[in-house]
Amino acid sequence: MCIFIGVLLAHFNSEAEFAGVLSHEIAHITARHAVRGMSTAQVTNLLIGLAASKVPGGSLSNSGFNLLNVIVNKGYSRKYESEADDIAKEYLGRNGYNQNAMADFLETMKSADELENEIAKKEGRPASGGYHGIFSTHPSTENRIEAMKGTASVSGEKNREEFLKMIDGLPYGTSDDEGYVRYNVFYHPFFAIKFTFPEGWDLDNLPDRLIIRKNNSEVTMISDNLLRDDIENGLTPKDYLDQNIDKTSFLARNTLLEQKNINNALPGYTYLYETKSLSEKSYTRYTVFFDIDDNDKRPKAWIFIKKFNELNDDNQLKIIDETFAKMTKDEIAKAKGLRIKVIRFRSGMSYNDLANNSPLGRYAEGKLRLLNGHYPVGEPKVGDLIKIVE
């Protein structure tokens, strides 16, 4: 499987590890695994598509394009993965690197799966797929690590300090333009919005929405474009909710408990509904804010849909409505997402203390350990370079 190196870069702990993963991916290319894994019919269709693209005025056919996409994003078989590991190990040795480096990085990816499983269990949700968990045909990470360490030479260089100094300042997580979280505050400099969410809740920044969750309670934040003509003709946040909630059968099955204007930096309105069944009650709160004062950008509605079983969760989540606001020009100018900072581990330091001062939230210690190859246990030596996030 092709790896998105940029996403993983923060988790490399030496130049040799980085070289090992690059060597593995190059090995898939030099061993022609993509083409060898294709059927004769697929190859024929691909060649036809490529030939068609050479015709003046023609373009690559859809089938040809799709097959190229398969090559780029293909999940390789166990045989090809093992073969690529062996070739990568050879490349590392030829270039003077420690051949255990690829196995070291696989240990980190195995730990990443373990941390994700731990977090998912605590949050009561399914774990997301791991490094090679997407394709069942891949050999297990444990087997790959064992096979690579069995014949590896450890005499080569790792170039750990040089590499860590190079990635000092590397962005961590989503880019500034996509929005980022710092100490339970979500910032989006492009849209110039910000809000605080309660401690103990976790935020996932997805391409089309934000998800904020704790246990079985969940908040979804989405946006909708508004017509300035509608705003100029009197459309209010209450009107917007009435129009959109009325389009469902939701109102016929639920009891309205609360409705009110939100007196905040942006005009807003909220409804709270109760849903009763034979065995339990649940609640849904709809909140919308109108973001309409920026003449350089299209007016927007920011919608929060909060679903929970306990009214105490509603009380916690009110901090979102109370703090939702526009970022100031000074905040936008200074906006900076999370970055890797490389520091020297000194006497008296611990992962626990570093986690207490970290913007990474309640799983900070596990994430910091993972970044440095010490998950679930282990400590750096005094004087070692380690990565933190700030």
Q: What percentage of the chain reaches a pLDDT higher than 90?
A: 46
Supply the pLDDT for residue 228: 92
d(CA 125, CA 372): 26
How deeply is 369 buried, as exposed, middle or buried, from its count of CB atoms within 10 A (0-12, 13-18, 19+)?
Answer: buried
pLDDT of residue 324: 97
CB atoms within 10 A of CB 356: 10
The domain spans of the chain are: 5-37+74-164, 176-334, 341-389
The tokens of 316 are what? Answer: 């916690």
Q: Which residue has the tokens 């300042």?
A: 169
Q: Is the Cα dihedral 227, 232, 233, 237 positive or negative?
A: positive
pLDDT confidence of residue 44: 58
- Asked whether residue 199 carries a pLDDT value surpassing 50, the answer given is yes
pLDDT of residue 177: 73
Q: What span, in angstroms and rounded, lies between the C-alpha atoms of 356 and 339?
A: 17
Which one is the CATH code of 341-389: 1.10.3470, 3.40.1000, 3.40.50, 3.10.350?
Answer: 3.10.350
Question: Is domain 176-334 annotated with CATH 3.40.1550.10?
Answer: no
46-60, 174-188, 190-204, range with the lowest pLDDT = 46-60
**Averaged pLDDT for residues 150-171:** 85
Per-residue pLDDT for 134 more than 60? no
Number of CB atoms found within 10 A of residue 317's CB: 22
274 three-state secondary structure:
strand
Mean pLDDT (whole number) for 382-389: 95
For residue 49, pLDDT beyond 70: no
Asked if residue 108 lies in contact with residue 100, where contact means CB atoms within 8 angstroms, the answer is: no
pLDDT digits (tens, 9 = 90+) for 57-105: 444 444 444 544 444 445 567 778 888 888 888 888 899 999 888 888 8
Stated length of the chain? 390
**pTM for the full predicted model:** 0.69
Using an 8 Å Cβ cutoff, are 119 and 363 in contact? yes
- Helices and strands: H and E segment counts in the chain: 15, 13
What mean pLDDT comes out for the span 42-53? 57
What is the residue-averaged pLDDT of the chain? 83
* The pLDDT of residue 58: 43
In terms of DSSP H, where are the helices of the chain?
5-8, 15-30, 33-36, 40-53, 62-72, 78-94, 101-123, 141-150, 160-166, 228-232, 237-245, 311-323, 329-334, 351-356, 364-371
Greatest mean pLDDT range, 88-92, 273-277, 313-317:
313-317
Which residue has tokens 């939100």? 262
Confidence of residue 55 (pLDDT cuts 50, 70, 90): very low
- Give the CA diameter of the chain: 75
Position 48 confidence tier, pLDDT thresholds 50, 70, 90:
low
| Average confidence (pLDDT) over 292-309 | 90
Alpha helices in 73-152 (DSSP H): 78-94, 101-123, 141-150
Structure tokens at 152: 């590896």
Name the token pair of 313: 């969760």
Is it the case that residue 170 has pLDDT exceeding 80? yes
Looking at residue 186, its pLDDT comes to 95
Q: Which phi and psi angles does 371 have, rounded to 5°?
A: -55, -30
Alpha-carbon distance 260 to 389, whole Å? 40
Locate tokens 């989405």: which residue?
222
Rg of the chain over Cα atoms, rounded to whole angstroms, equals: 26
182 vs 144, residue with greater confidence: 182
pLDDT tens for each residue of 322-366: 999 999 999 998 888 889 999 999 999 999 999 999 988 888 999
